[in-house]
Amino acid sequence: MWQGAVFFDYDGTLMDRDQGVSAPTAKSRDAIRQLKQNGYLAVLCTGRSLAYIPQDAKNLEFDGYITTNGAYGQMNGAELFNQPLEEELVQSFQNACEQLRISYTLEGQKECFYRAFSPLYDGWLKRFHISTESLLPMEQRKHTAINKMMIVYDEEEQRNQLLKAFGNRLVFDQHIQYTSCDVSRRGTNKGTGVEQFLAHINLSPKQAYAIGDSDNDLEMIRIAGTGIAMEKHSERLGQSADYITDSVANDGVAKALAHFRLVRQPFLR
């Protein structure tokens, strides 16, 4: 039986290009290996779809994945839950983005589709190191179920119009320092994903740790028995966290695991 489970955000937690860290650090990789050897599950909990999880993340050999901000979960390759958006809602949102000329992505687990109206979309791809090979032109979408959407906008008023039209059904999670948002079903988030994952493996939230940096990690941090914020974190996340660790560049993940004695102590040095 497992000792517990640790849920890791990826962008801003295991990597942060703004800090010059394009992949998990050697100490973070070693700490996650130790964590698994010590009887804890390591689970990636990300806003990304399975379709564009970086190879550097896959190389960490996570036991499980919660993707698209809690809408999908799998463990050891087996699907645990899958909550696609209603097709009527996807179509309405897509039509609104087209009319407002807002760049957007529709995300399934095997395929993601995009429409770019602005050069800012390329900036979003570069910032999150997403290869265009992971995305297909919107015209190629046929019947793929969509778990999450994403927008990149030029003017705040564009986003506000979408909020006004869809805010009662969808949640817009703003990306830090960029004019883009994850768009998810209201009531679906990383916290609900963690809850479902734990229920499937018969672990309690008290046995869970969660590590993140931004507002879309907030529910995950609150659900877990122990919530950890990276040094660079959103204000709301910091208010809810039980512990604030070091930065990505200074091996904050490894230090947090060592602080709670989930791995050996030398990482604290």
Mean pLDDT of 122-150: 90
* Residue 100: half-sphere exposure toward Cβ, Cα within 13 Å: 23
Q: Measured between alpha carbons, how far is 234 from 114 in angstroms, rounded to an integer? A: 28
d(C-alpha 207, C-alpha 222), whole Å? 13
Global confidence as pTM: 0.94
Most confident of 15-24, 66-75, 173-182: 66-75
pLDDT tens string 2-60: 999 999 999 999 998 888 888 999 999 999 999 999 999 999 999 999 999 999 999 99
- What is the C-alpha to C-alpha distance for residues 16 and 250, in angstroms, rounded to an integer? 11
Q: Are the C-beta atoms of 38 and 3 separated by less than 8 Å?
A: yes
Question: pLDDT digit string (tens) for 74-99?
Answer: 999 999 999 999 999 999 999 999 99
Contact (Cβ atoms closer than 8 angstroms) between residue 245 and residue 230: yes
Q: Please tell me the CATH code under which domain 4-83+188-268 is placed.
A: 3.40.50.1000
Domain 4-83+188-268 and domain 87-185, same fold? Reply is no
CATH second-level architecture of 87-185? 2-Layer Sandwich (3.30)
- The per-residue pLDDT for 269 is 52
**DSSP one-letter string for 178-226:** SSEEEEEETT-SHHHHHHHHHHHHT--GGGEEEEE-SGGGHHHHHHSSE
| Cα torsion through 78, 16, 9, 130, rounded to 10 | -40
Q: Is the dihedral angle over the CA atoms 226, 232, 233, 238 positive or is it negative?
A: positive
Domain range summary for the chain, segments of one domain joined by +: 4-83+188-268, 87-185
Q: What confidence tens digit (pLDDT) does each residue in 155-164 have?
A: 999 999 999 9
